[in-house]
Amino acid sequence: AQSVTQPDIHITVSEGASLELRCNYSYGATPYLFWYVQSPGQGLQLLLKYFSGDTLVQGIKGFEAEFKRSQSSFNLRKPSVHWSDAAEYFCAVGLYNTDKLIFGTGTRLQVFP
Amino acid sequence: GAGVSQSPSNKVTEKGKDVELRCDPISGHTALYWYRQSLGQGLEFLIYFQGNSAPDKSGLPSDRFSAERTGESVSTLTIQRTQQEDSAVYLCASSLGREGEQFFGPGTRLTVL
């Protein structure tokens, strides 16, 4: 069955530090991959998505993610974290020929000044 | 409206009562999705509507859950005989269709006492 794993439940970083959030998926074909962010009391907002082509994807707010087929991973990165990046981040897989998304359990990011 | 709206924002009910949750998608979006987010869990797919096609109900957890959509407009998620384990945030999303970005509403927080 398809699944998404976000191994880090909670990550704490200092403002200005670099960030990498991990995401691994299990799916029998090339998936559509997404990262969403959920700020407290807010709905989910799409940060970036990968459908095909260049495996390094740029998103909003200075985030990027790299699709690595050999590792079944789609890790999210940011070179310098801002305090406003504190939120919960969800990785998701879109299944081929459907529009359903399978979400990971999320990673909560805390940013210290 | 500018985005997906959901009502009510909060709902507290007693065990055994029925509840209705409403979603107003973005105008023109043919696809509509319901997800459930339980405490400490990722988002769980519930049901998906696409145009006039039969809905994909594969994520509904029991026959107490049902949903309807009027054309390409409003959707209502109904939970009958609510149980405490139904307590969660119910999120609605809409999109232009296949491979379209899903835009999420703010959610309805349901508490079953």
B interface test, pick of A37, A44, A51 with most B CB neighbours within 10 Å? A44
Q: Which residues of chain A have pLDDT under 70?
A: 96-98
Digit-coded pLDDT (tens) for B50-100: 888 889 898 999 999 999 998 888 999 999 999 999 999 999 999 987 667
DSSP state of B56: B
Assess whether pLDDT exceeds 70 at residue B1. no
Contact A101, A2 (CB under 8 A): no
Contact B42 A100 (CB under 8 A): no
Predicted pLDDT at B99? 66
**Is residue A35 a contact partner of residue A107, using CB atoms and an 8 Å limit?**
no
* Predicted local distance difference test score (pLDDT) of residue B41: 75
State pLDDT tens for residues B25-46: 999 898 999 999 988 777 899 9
CB contact under 8 A, B48 and A100: yes
Of A61, A103, A54, nearest in space to A83 by CA: A61
- Tokens at A21, concatenated: 């959030």
For residue B97, give how far its alpha carbon lies from the nearest alpha carbon of chain A (Å).
7
Alpha-carbon gap, residue A47 to A61, rounded angstroms: 8
Return the amino acid letter for A49: K
Å from A79 to nearest chain B CA? 25
- Contact call for A103 and B43, based on CB within 8 A: yes
With beta carbons less than 8 A apart as the criterion, state whether A17 and A80 touch.
yes
d(CA A23, CA A15): 22
- Please name the residue of chain A whose CA is at the shortest distance from the CA of residue B99: A99
